Structure formats: structure tokens, C-alpha cells
Structure 1
């Protein structure tokens, strides 16, 4: 039937196949060009609305929550130590995750805020962990995170690995980054372990390189235009695991902190641009 078709078209097979190959190459080229064009337009769109980042609303709410007496103890978070001393938030998130002697563990911003909210204000840590994303205590967490990270904008990422537990967290995060599992054997590295990858016209940073990690880690947390929500790093990583078809990791867990540690250390020397703005 194939030969009959070629005869009727009066086209010789080799010429026909070369034509198909050329057509395919043209189609791929057009698709790549369209994809690049779309990516450029998305970049222009982000630039246009950058001055009106809706994260500003979350920042304002977070500033109020930071200074508002709350919880069973009815006190503020102004004595919360994020690593630079009680109440110091300027530049704090640029140096997180880090080791904290009072908990004897490495903590990222969200797990550290859980510690402050529970020890200083008397709010149940488990209640924060169990709350749905974007609701209740997690909604308060969104605002607090937006406020804290905004105080490190334009500062250099400077995350230490001097303490043995910091080195341990980095190595655990690296193992987790490359761990393949789930029904399709996905890992973080599947999408973010090589350069020049993209999904749904979204450029994927190579988090194993300094430049890629700085571009990725340095722009999250962020406001997502497509969902109309502010996403913390805890939600961003949890959604990555969802896309890998893994169960959601426990919020504030050592796993999420370790993966964050791996990205942050790789990003050292980059500039903090949070809260970012994403599609």
C-alpha cells in the first residue's frame, strides 16, 4: 500500500523520505522558535509587572504579624532568632539554612519560624505542620516568609557549611536531589540536573551549577501569577515531589531543609531576588 501510494503521487521513495525529514526539521525549528518567542514574551510580561509584585501585600501582612502579639502566650515574634540575633531579620534569609544550637539541627526559614512560633508564642508546631497550604496557620506562614525574605533582597547568598551538621545536611540534600523513585523513577535532577531544559515553555534552571542555583534558589519564594498565590519554598518543593508522583514530604521536615541546603550552598555568591515573580 505504501509503494502504491508513492506511485500514485509519482514521487520516488528516497525523495519522499528526504522531504518528510526536511518537513520534520522545519517543524521542529518552528516549534523551537515559537517556544523561544513565548519564553521571551513571558520574560517581558514579568518585567512589566515587576514593580507591582502582589507579594507586596503578603509582605505587609507579614510585617504586621511579626509585631502582633499572638498565640497562647500573646507575644510577638520580635525576639525570634533567625541566625543573626534575636529580632534581626535584615539579611537573615540570605544565610539560611543554617545550624541552630538551641535545636541542635540545621533549619531553613520555615522550620525556624515554626520553632519561634511554638517556643515564643506557644502555638502548636504540629498544628502548623498539619495545616493545609494557603490556609490557617500556613497562610500566616506565607506572610511571615514574604516579609522576612524581602529583608534580604539584593544581598549575596551566603550559606555556611562549616558546622558538621551543615555539611551533613548538604550531603543529605545532594542524595535526595539525585534520588530516583516513584512510578516513573523521577528525581529532582530529572528536571534540574542539566542545562537548557524546559517544560511547558518554562526554562528549568540547572541547580547543580552556581548560576542555575542562584537563578532558582535566589528567586524563590515567589508569587505565582498562574495560580494567584504566594508560594513558599516549602510549597514549591512539595509540589515538585507531587509532580514526581511522590507523597508530599512532611512540612518543615529535615528532608525539605536538606534539599534547600543543597540548592542554597550551590547558589552561594548569587544575589537574592525574593520575593520573586513566576508564571
Structure 2
């Protein structure tokens, strides 16, 4: 009798602890969601968007030209709807490009900047900071639109398959992969929910939320920097800006996000 009662008490304690943990997790997630909602009204990303618009229209570089004839896949100068269809194949470069690398191509061909010099510049400095602002401006023009990356070209399909393989490849000192954090549902790290990026995570989540303003370091991050930091957290070598590895991962996540609504510019912790 006493043993039975003890077992029942232990089970009750365990159930109570599990309920408490689940309740605490739910409360924390709700708190973060409310925190982001409050910040959204005064999202500093708007300042980067404004700077990007100025840079888009301003005549700069050795050729003293603007970027208003830059073709992002929808025709020269068309920015609405371009972001939600990238990365994509561009015939003039013969490769699949994301928004940031395509902008650098336009800065080189239209304005005369050297792409190599820009890509060697650290994030947040010089022309690299301008690329982030430009990406924020262009991406914001597609806010509320659904992602629909093209997969008609052979290179687009190849990049998707390459990105998928990379997403699940484990390595580094901690034997991590992208899927270690983003390969299944209901995962968290500290107070941060980790979306499952092997399928459509939903509106404004994952790929559909970058570029975004990072409150923790007061910086605007594009997808290239987001991926760079993911490699760092996995203890992988830092990828080169605009490398095939980062583009392939972008294609994989972007295709998986088909139908998801973009909320760029988002705000993150």
C-alpha cells in the first residue's frame, strides 16, 4: 500500500514538473512574441530601408551612375516582387545569385565598383554596409508577397539539391549541421524558437524574415551574414561572401518557403 502510494506521488510530482516546464516555455515564447510586437512599430530597419532607397537612386562610383537600371530578375529597375523570387539564375553572369550578390553585380557593371573589393569588406563597413541597406530597400518592396523561387533552370535545380545536401551535412568540432537546429519541429535554444526549415515554416519565419534588424547588437543583417553566423555557431570555417555554398543553402530554404509571406524588414532579438 505504501509502495503504491509512493509511486503515485512520484508520478504526480513528475507530471507537475512537466506541466510547469511546458507552461514556462509557453510563457517565455509568448513574452518574446509580445516584445517583438512592441518593437516592430519603431523598427530601426526603416532607417536602413531609407538609406537603401537613397543609394539606389544616387549616382555613385567610377561611372557616376545610379542603380535604377539594375535587373534583379523582373526587368531593369523593377524591384517589387524581385526579392521573393531570389536566389535565381541570371544569364548575364551564368550563375545563380541571391539578392546581395546580384546587387554587387549591378554595382560593378553599372557604377564601376570592383566586386572583389566589396566582398572582401567586413559586414557592416564601407560598401558592404551599403549592400545591406540596398538589400533592405529592395526586399521591403516585396513585403507581404509570397515566396516563389524559380526552379526551371538546370542550375537552379542543382543549387537546390546541393543546398539540401549541405543542410544535412555534419562536421566541425561539434559535429553539427544546419539540421541539428532546424531539422525538426519544436526545438529551442535558450529562449529562441528554432523553425523547421526542411519544410515551409510559415509566414515571416526563417528565410522569409531576412534582412532583419538585430536588437542584441544594433545591426542590420542580410541573409549572407545570417548564414555566415550559422557557420560560426556550427564551428565551421567562415564561408566567403556570396560563395556557392551560401547561395545553395539560400535556394534550398527559399524553395522550401514557397507560399510563405515575406515580413522583411523583420526585427530579431
What TM-score comes out, normalization by structure 2 length? 0.93
Partner of 1:143: 133
Can you list the C-alpha shifts for 1:170-219, whole angstroms capped at 9, x where unaligned?
11110111111001110000110100111111111101112358621111
Q: Does 1:272 align with 2:241?
A: no
Q: State the alpha-carbon separation in 2 of the partners of residues 134 and 204 from structure 1.
A: 25
Number of residue pairs the alignment of both structures matches? 268
Partner of 1:157: 147
CA gap of 1:37–1:87, structure 2 versus 1, over 3 A, is same
Q: State the alpha-carbon separation in 2 of the partners of residues 196 and 49 from structure 1.
A: 25
- Rg larger in structure: 1
Can you list the C-alpha shifts for 1:98-156, whole angstroms capped at 9, x where unaligned?
11000011100011111111111111111111111111111111110110000000111
Q: Match for 1:175 among 154, 165, 176?
A: 165
Q: Match for 1:253 among 230, 240, 243?
A: 243
Partner of 1:217: 207
Q: Does 1:46 align with 2:41?
A: no
Q: Match for 1:33 among 15, 23, 45?
A: 23
What stretches of structure 1 move > 4 A for 4+ residues in a row? Answer: 12-25
Q: Does 1:105 align with 2:85?
A: no
Q: Which blocks of at least 5 consecutive residues in structure 2 are unaligned? A: none
Partner of 1:244: 234
Structure 2 contact 203–261 (Cα < 8 Å) conserved: no
CA gap of 1:214–1:159, structure 2 versus 1, over 3 A, is farther
CA gap of 1:238–1:14, structure 2 versus 1, over 3 A, is farther
Q: Does 1:202 align with 2:192?
A: yes
Can you list the C-alpha shifts for 1:42-87, whole angstroms capped at 9, x where unaligned?
1011112222211000000000001111111111111111000111
Structure 1 contact 223–277 (Cα < 8 Å) conserved: yes
Q: Which blocks of at least 5 consecutive residues in structure 1 are unaligned? A: 1-11
